[in-house]
Chain A
Amino acid sequence: MLARYVVRRVVASIPVVFGVTLITFGLLHATSGAFVPGLELNPNLRPEDIIRIRNNLGLNDPLPVQYWHWISGLLHGDFGRSLVDGSPVLRHISDRLPNTIELTITAILLGILISIPLGVVGALRRGSVIDNFFTFLSVAGVSIPSFWLALLLILLFSVSFHAWGLPWLPSGGAESAFGGGDPIDRITHLILPATCLAFVYIAIWSRFTRSSMLEVLSQDYVRTARAKGMSERRVTYLHALRNSLVPLVTLIGLELPGLVSGGAIIEIVFSWPGVGRLALERALQYDYTMVLGLTTFVALLVVVGNLLADVIYALLDPRIRYA
């Protein structure tokens, strides 16, 4: 049953991916500007050179033909080449992706591990001092801009701690330039950006867990569970929690594209060599093929994230599988 469900979901997502490529391609070609940055301004090129270069790049072909070249390349796993440095787009992505995954997965795990207990405690002790404190933290987490929080964290843990002679954390990069790269070194670099990124997740997810848990705790089957004579702990963590996690899974699944988009600001503040920073740098350089490739890649992540969420959803709630 579950396998059939997954296959059905995968097949259903194919048109979505196709539509996304069409829209991305269309939008980028609708924006004004030369498709090859700075070509017209280069004094060493004659007009016929420019025409020749554009012809070589296929930019004078009709749009459908260009789209066909691009999409057939995509189907073969070829995202094209960067217009800035001529190297394959896919290689840029695969160079940067591990860093981004490292950062985001750490942040997501931190978020899950902290937000769920916070939400559960908040629900169980609704209205208490501790619940109000968590509420305050959540509002703060959502309201504080992450770049500002990032700068403050750097100021405190990197600059001030260094000045006070305390053990300090690096302010940027994924590893030390000299002699870095061992796991300890990478972890120390990871702490600040991951915390910063996780802070927002914790703020949102803990609220979500709390309200979802409150709703589940008032359900009849929770009363049934109590009537069976189990401990309150078992009622909460076995019978109630699993039900309350179902909607949270969707929310977390939707964070997967945040690999690139949401983390971009943090990647920039902490000079983290990830995909988000790559996307921003290249967008500023008018590297169209790169932006096209990255956007398509993010779209794929959205689809995969949703798919993953749906599968976990079905694993948690048997009613979904047959719907």
Chain B
Amino acid sequence: MADHLLEVQDLHTVFPTKDGVVKAVDGVSFHLDPGETLGIVGESGSGKSVTVLSVMRLLQRPGRIASGRILYKGRDLAKASDPEMQEIRGEEIAMIFQDPMTSMNPVFKTGWQVGEPLRLHKNFDAKKALKEAVGFLHKVGIPEADKRADQYPHEFSGGMRQRAMIAMGLSTGPNVLIADEPTTALDVTIQAQILDLLRKVNHDFGTATILITHNLGVVAGMCERVMVMYAGKVAEQGPTEDVFANPKHPYTWSLLRSIPRLDAQEHEPLRAIEGLPPDLINPPTGCPFHPRCPFRIDRCIREMPPLEPVGPTQLATCWVTQAGRDLNEAAS
């Protein structure tokens, strides 16, 4: 399977702290094919962001990749030198971040910042880069792009800044666009616009997209495939439709069940997942979800299940489903 655009194999990322080593990413594997959209879902601290920051090699100290391979077009990014990574970042793999209000440099004009990747990677001169930047600002739906390019980020609204960030990411025509919770900091109406834009970008430019979110609705509407993460590990992955219709991991099952429904009975309590997220320094034995899992069997407490095919299209780390039980049936 060497023809994946990006393939992460058994990635381990750790943060040494005073209290012990935090295993933020603990054996994650996934792949991304050209032009597809992959959603990564999970609660805060599940390792979604750290996974993609590892791919970009943008981990904050003291975080580091302990082991694993990150194959991009067959090259292992985990072992790439800094200059090699600088070639990849912004040119091959672009990234946009959660908070557009703080992700742009306040002291430089927007057009200058959007055009910067072009000057860095394509050797454009300042004038040509600015012209191209204005073009991209226009493409991402910023009105009067030529005037807006001459303004500073603080003169932009949050949604407009996120559009500018997307333009910045797209300008070099990257193969992969990583969007780390791109709509979390925005109003709901603006969220929809930005997601529309990302969908359009994926469609028009054929940019493979990794979308990190904790919003399952966003994944349903945007992503062909989804990877669910829990405690730094992959819980489940597969085509979005299949995962949503027939979850193969109790965590996914609980997540889907906890979405409040509009047609719910009045005063029906919200169904939360019992218990707390695990401590990543001293994770539970066996499967990290076992203390909260309604389907737990003895084996879950002792051994961590491997990521294995469950059903025709999905992969899951669960002894219960791997043994052939169906979660929806088991619950009823």
- Report how far A221 CA is from B164 CA in the complex, Å: 13
Q: Is the CB of A231 closer than 8 A to any CB of chain B?
A: yes
Instruction: Give the residues in chain B near A221, CB-CB below 8 Å.
Output: 102-106
In the complex, the answer to whether A316 meets B99 with C-beta atoms within 8 Å is no
Interchain CB contact (< 8 A) of A227 among B95, B106, B108, B154 = B95
Asked whether, in the complex, the Cβ of A227 is within 8 Å of the Cβ of B89, the reply is yes
Contact of B102 among A219, A231, A239, A316 (CB under 8 A): A219
Asked if A186 CB lies within 8 Å of chain B CBs, one says no
Q: Is A232 engaged at the interface, CB distance under 8 Å to the other chain?
A: yes
B106 & A317 in contact (Cβ 8 Å cutoff): yes
Asked whether A227 lies within 8 Å of B56 as measured between CB atoms, the reply is: yes
* B102 to A, closest residue via Cβ: A220
Q: In the complex, are the beta carbons of A226 and B58 less than 8 A apart?
A: yes
Minimum CB–CB distance for A249 against chain B, Å: 12
A239:B105 contact, CB within 8 angstroms: yes
Q: Does A223 contact B (CB under 8 A)?
A: yes
Instruction: Give the CA-CA distance A220 to B102 in the complex, in Å.
Output: 6
Tell me whether B107 is interfacial, beta carbon within 8 Å. yes
Name B104's contact: one of A224, A226, A229, A316 (CB within 8 Å).
Answer: A224
B interface list, Cβ under 8 A from A = 56, 58, 60, 82-83, 85-91, 94-95, 97, 99, 102-108, 116-117, 120-121, 152, 154, 165, 168
CA distance A227 to B105 in the complex (A): 13
Residues of B close to A91: CB separation below 8 A: none
**Is B99 a contact partner of A220 (Cβ separation < 8 A)?**
yes
For A319, the closest partner residue in chain B by CB is B154
Are A227 and B90 CB-contacts (below 8 A) given A221-B102, A318-B154? yes
Interchain residue pairs with CB less than 8 A apart (19): A220-B97, A220-B102, A220-B103, A221-B105, A223-B97, A224-B165, A227-B94, A227-B97, A228-B116, A228-B168, A232-B82, A242-B107, A246-B107, A316-B107, A317-B106, A318-B106, A318-B107, A318-B152, A318-B154
With A and B bound together, what is the CA distance between A218 and B58 in angstroms? 12
Contact with B along A141-154 (1 / 0, CB 8 A): 00000000000000
A246 to B105, CA, bound (A): 13
Chain A residues within 8 Å of B152, by CB: 318-319
| Shortest Cβ distance from residue A141 to the other chain B in the assembled complex, whole angstroms | 29
Select from chain B the residue with minimum beta-carbon distance to A239: B105
If the complex has contacts A220-B99, A226-B89, A229-B117, are A243 and B105 also in contact, measured as CB distance less than 8 A? yes
Determine the chain A residues whose CB is within 8 A of the CB of B88 once the complex forms: 229
Tell me if A251 is interfacial: C-beta within 8 Å of chain B. no
Determine whether the beta carbon of A319 is less than 8 Å from that of B106: yes
User: Contact mask A223-250 → B, CB, 8 Å, 1/0?
Assistant: 1111111111000000100110010000
B117: A residues at CB distance < 8 A: 228-229
Residues on B with C-beta less than 8 A from A218 are 60
Residues of A within 8 A of B107 (CB): 242-243, 246, 316-318
Instruction: Name the residue on B nearest A242 (C-beta).
Output: B107
Q: Determine how close the nearest CB of chain B comes to the CB of A28; give it in whole angstroms.
A: 45
Give the distance in Å from the alpha carbon of A232 to the alpha carbon of B106 in the complex: 19
Q: How far is the CA of A232 from the CA of B85 in the complex (A)?
A: 11
Distance to closest chain B CB from A305 (angstroms): 23
Residues of B within 8 A of A316 (CB): 107
The answer to whether A229 and B82 touch across the interface, beta carbons within 8 angstroms, is no
Task: Across the interface, name the chain A residue whose C-beta is closest to B178.
Answer: A227
Closest to A315 in B: B107
Give Cα distance in the complex from A273 to B219, angstroms.
75
What is the bound-complex CA distance between A219 and B102, given in angstroms? Answer: 7
Q: How far is the CA of A319 from the CA of B94 in the complex (A)?
A: 27
Contact B120 A228 (CB under 8 A): yes
Question: Can you name 19 extra interface pairs (CB under 8 A) apart from A227-B58, A227-B94, A319-B154?
Answer: A218-B60, A220-B103, A221-B102, A221-B103, A221-B105, A223-B58, A224-B103, A224-B104, A224-B165, A226-B89, A227-B89, A228-B120, A229-B86, A229-B117, A230-B90, A239-B108, A243-B107, A318-B152, A318-B154
